A and B are shown apart, each in its own frame.
Chain A
């Protein structure tokens, strides 16, 4: 085992927000300023711990677990506290800590109605622990606990701080995701009972991967178990046709809720495919991959079409997530190293870009008190040049312009589907690739059309007299890191690929793809 710091780092970074949530819960309600500062400080602490870990990370050995802790937890069912970070986890883990920090900064100024700062921040912190934990858990039960932990705070964030139709959206989100989790848990239990490592069952993901690689699970079992994990993950992603909770949840959620939902929560599903479904159920993955690819291709085109028809700006961005996650899933379905790398890149890029888009939409709503494209009526760049400029920049990043973050995930996803893994039907995946290509055209179409209707043109009469503030300091502080990341990831894709590539190769070797 490692020396002291390395033993504790990962647990500190992950559970500090949980502790912080308790601290905030016991802070007097009147000390509103203190509560908000605590939110920033705690998330900053977690982020610093994460960054220090990233600096201590051995990038040459990204395929193996680092900062690993493997301790007794619930011996009666063989569940262990097994956490660690490899090259696949690290980018998503850091994204979680960073986005949570930026959201806490944003919340320093913007707490949506009905206020209740304490609960708002405590729930955000609770959410952070759940999300971060999902990306480092290497035990299926632990994974499941973190996974479900995320549901509750997000449910309240939407249900209490959301907009008009929040109750329907919150419950739909909760029940739909829970519905998927049930099948996922079911499959986890199946995997547990079917596994045998040194004569005992195990929930340990690393051991299960090795067990699977040695052909431990029968194909028939895998095919059924895969359906279970698929439902859990696919609803979370969300894949077409399981996506209908997403536009509602996003549209109703408060700004930081949307940012974290799009930025991180959705990635839990795609991460699950890479971490659990593919390596533990490899034969089933090969069987189901064409179906997954097909759903992904449909998602790309379908979501772009749906975006064209949206009248609500936030709903439009929400639907765009379905398309972008379609690219990620298509890449995963190819079962190739390029595809998996592209998927992880796409996840991070989407987290940064779409998170930023939701920030923009939130700030637009904060000024105009409407999200209806027709009511906004254009001329945003005349009235609020900085906000309009940032929004345009991020939208262009989101349509996949090279040189910005959104490009690499999509182009490499399409490249990987030109030639998927050997067991897969090349012609079929090329058809998916063509659909994806059509999707990129439509994506450009709806984003540019959106910009034309929102940012360009002349300002409608009704907004001329109102004094709307342009981007304020708190917004700049919480946005600038994201804007910089969009450029940095676009120009230096190695920032992510350099971390993931080794780990993905290791995974693919295990997977035998």
Chain B
């Protein structure tokens, strides 16, 4: 986050393309509309609009970044959106180096996924619709990134959630897919409600005048807002992160989200949307910094548990996408944990977000090629594919090495920055990161070996994917090799000159940290290779007794949630509400009607015609099928109205004497 002084100086430097960042966000909205209305009539069934919009968006994003490469400051602009009472809400953009980097991440991965899906989704019945949602999603994510206020951010945030729901449930004919979609939506919304309340706290702190992120950032550091309030706001905001970035205990939706088409997993559930939670903490970092230290401590604890726990779960998966899903949860937790160690950790977390987007998208798309070829998600149906699918294998190998933290790939550099940040006085975090790195290297090696090495165990003759699918793999692999250097000492860490909190921090290469990091990665890879070199059957990870059962059952969280919350609420509590409605509330209504009838103004006739039918005794009600008009014409209602009127007047006279 950049201070106000910088915002002002921006105008002096000449903002160039940075002012046009909002166009990047609007482009996919246009392509979504075009695809929706003209897609089916367009040759190729409509992918062209999305690909064109993402390409243009990517180029423009690079131009936006160029402003910051030249040392430009943040720019912002906005228009009035609406006013409600004292609250004035704008629709606007705030563009700093972080925004520029996020624009590049989103448009680059989205472009890769748009192109890749031409091949992967080729035979899909809802091909055009798929592209519509893909574009809407990208627009929503870009809106989150450029939003200069929390309301606008929240809108993008939730629309992303909807797109995620639609795409996880893309093949809604199958119950398991729609279940996963609902689970994702509801679980993230459980985090979004506190997030929304956190926004309320901050808006209230401005005196209900503004939701502007920069204003809030300055306000929380000032004397007008108590530390307790800031702490509450930070904790509530973090709820959104726990949901969206799949952190413990709300991480359970992400592995299930793998039911969606694989390109979706790459874009939404690896590179972009799930990173939005991390982005949120970083963007609102002054709120977290000015909160009580326990808040960042809490962030670290959640991140730490998730980081290590998810890595363990990745060990015991057979579904290749679930390995990657738990790996994503774990890597996101790295970023969250790093946020807890201070501004240096925050910047390092963004660097890891940046590199992770490339290699994790690459891994997912590679897994998609494999799944496309062998028609199964299970690694037990794979093996020996390296020879049959060379491009997929080599690019996947680069991605895996990056994930494992092997130098000089991107993941190594960013993980190194995380470790360096944690090494300064955060021994527990540092150790946990190191241990997790070892586990990560192990499960990554296991995944690569089960998938690509040894004999082929599936059916049919798998073939290499078409160029439209391998092309994006190669592009992302190039990114995986290169982007890490942006944050390395080699380039003096230019990345951190673009993305920083308040002041850029110099990048230092700490030899002992790097050595430990390489040792952990190497040890993990070696151990993985040693265990899986002979393809032991059954897999040793399932031979660990109670530990295996705990892990295979995902720490029993799904069972606890289902039997402890979902079913009791959905079935028992809901039924109780309806019972109460029928028997108590409606019972009183009908009872009153019955009582009125019994006390009825002395006329039997009135009794039988009007009130009686209001009694639940349907039999009686059925008795006068002769038409509804009759008793209204019979004069009873008029008589009733007359009684009513007299009563009203009498009561009115009484009441005026109070």
Contact = CB atoms under 8 A, between A and B. Distances in A.
A190 B203 contact: no
B546 interface: no
Contacts of B628: 156, 159-160, 167, 170
Interface stretch (A44-52, A94-102, A289-297, A301-309): A301-309
Nearest to A245: B589
Interface centre among B83, B84, B154, B569 (most CB of A within 10 A): B84
A452 B182 contact: yes
A432 to B, nearest CB: 12
Contacts of A418: 197, 200-201, 204
Nearest to A228: B655
B615 to A, nearest CB: 9
A456 B170 CA distance: 10
B658 A224 contact: yes
B577 A440 contact: no
A340 to B, nearest CB: 8
Contact of B649 (A167, A189, A338, A505): A189
Contact of A309 (B178, B574, B616): B574
B52 interface: no
A317 B103 CA distance: 41
Interface centre among A308, A309, A493, A505 (most CB of B within 10 A): A309
Interface of A: 156, 159-160, 165, 167-168, 170-172, 175-176, 178, 182, 185-187, 189-190, 193-194, 220-221, 224-225, 228, 241, 243-245, 302, 305-310, 336-338, 341-342, 379, 381-382, 396, 401-403, 407, 411-412, 414-415, 418-419, 433-434, 437-438, 440-442, 444-445, 448-449, 452, 455-458, 492-494, 497-498, 501, 504-505
Contact of A189 (B193, B616, B652): B652
Interface residues of B, number: 67
B189 A441 contact: yes
Contacts of A159: 628
B56 interface: no
Contacts of A414: 196-197, 200
A403 B91 CA distance: 13
Nearest to B578: A309
A401 B158 contact: yes
Contacts of A225: 655
15 contacts: A168-B613, A168-B618, A170-B628, A175-B610, A178-B644, A190-B652, A307-B574, A308-B574, A338-B208, A411-B154, A433-B200, A437-B194, A441-B189, A452-B179, A504-B85
Contact of B614 (A172, A190, A419, A458): A172
A338 B84 CA distance: 6
Interface centre among A194, A414, A449, A452 (most CB of B within 10 A): A452
Nearest to B649: A189
Contacts of A442: 569
A412 B169 CA distance: 30
B570 interface: yes
Given A160-B628, A403-B159, A308 B581 contact: no
Contacts of A444: 185-186, 189
B83 A306 contact: no
B173 A382 contact: yes
A186 B85 contact: no
Interface of B: 81-87, 154-155, 157-159, 162, 165, 169, 172-173, 175, 178-179, 181-182, 185-186, 189-190, 193-194, 196-197, 200-201, 203-204, 208, 569-570, 573-578, 581, 585-586, 589, 593, 610-611, 613-614, 616, 618, 621, 624, 628, 644, 647-649, 651-653, 655-656, 658
**Top-6 shortest CB links A-B:** A337-B85, A189-B652, A308-B574, A309-B574, A456-B172, A402-B155
Contacts of A457: 172-173, 175, 178
A224 B654 CA distance: 12
B84 to A, nearest CB: 5
A220 B656 CA distance: 11
Contacts of A220: 658
Nearest to A392: B166
B596 to A, nearest CB: 9
Main secondary structure of the interface of A (DSSP, over half): helix
Given A189-B648, A189-B649, A455-B172, 4 more contacts: A186-B651, A221-B658, A441-B186, A456-B172
Given A165-B618, A445-B186, A448-B182, A186 B610 contact: no
B520 to A, nearest CB: 40
B583 to A, nearest CB: 11
B82 A494 contact: yes
Contacts of B81: 493-494
Contacts of B581: 244, 306
Contacts of B589: 172, 176, 244-245
Contact of B613 (A167, A187, A396): A167
Nearest to A498: B82
A168 B614 CA distance: 6
Contacts of A434: 197
A396 B162 CA distance: 9
Nearest to A505: B85
Contacts of A224: 655, 658
A403 B658 contact: no
A441 B158 contact: no
A309 B82 contact: no
A193 B652 contact: yes
A337 B178 contact: no
A448 B570 CA distance: 13
A437 B208 contact: no
Contacts of A440: 189, 193
A28 to B, nearest CB: 21
Contacts of B656: 189-190, 193-194
Contacts of A193: 652-653, 656
Contacts of A221: 655, 658
Given A165-B618, A440-B193, A401 B586 contact: no
B25 to A, nearest CB: 13
B84 A342 contact: yes
Nearest to B576: A305
A308 B172 contact: no
Contacts of B197: 414, 418, 433-434, 437
B429 to A, nearest CB: 32
Interface centre among B190, B203, B593, B651 (most CB of A within 10 A): B651
A411 B81 CA distance: 16
Contact of B574 (A156, A305, A402, A448): A305
B246 to A, nearest CB: 17
A337 B86 contact: yes
B141 to A, nearest CB: 14
Contacts of B653: 193
B158 A402 contact: yes
Contacts of B182: 445, 448-449, 452
A455 B614 CA distance: 36
A172 B585 CA distance: 13
Contacts of B189: 440-441, 444
A198 to B, nearest CB: 19
A171 B614 contact: yes
Given A182-B644, A338-B87, A402-B155, A497 B200 contact: no
Contacts of A156: 628
A369 B154 CA distance: 41
Nearest to A502: B83
Nearest to B640: A178
B648 A185 contact: yes
A305 B574 CA distance: 4
Contacts of B82: 492-494, 497-498
A496 to B, nearest CB: 9
Contact of B573 (A244, A305, A381, A497): A305
B456 to A, nearest CB: 33
A407 B185 CA distance: 16
A458 B575 CA distance: 27
A458 B186 CA distance: 23
A309 B186 contact: no
A382 B162 CA distance: 21
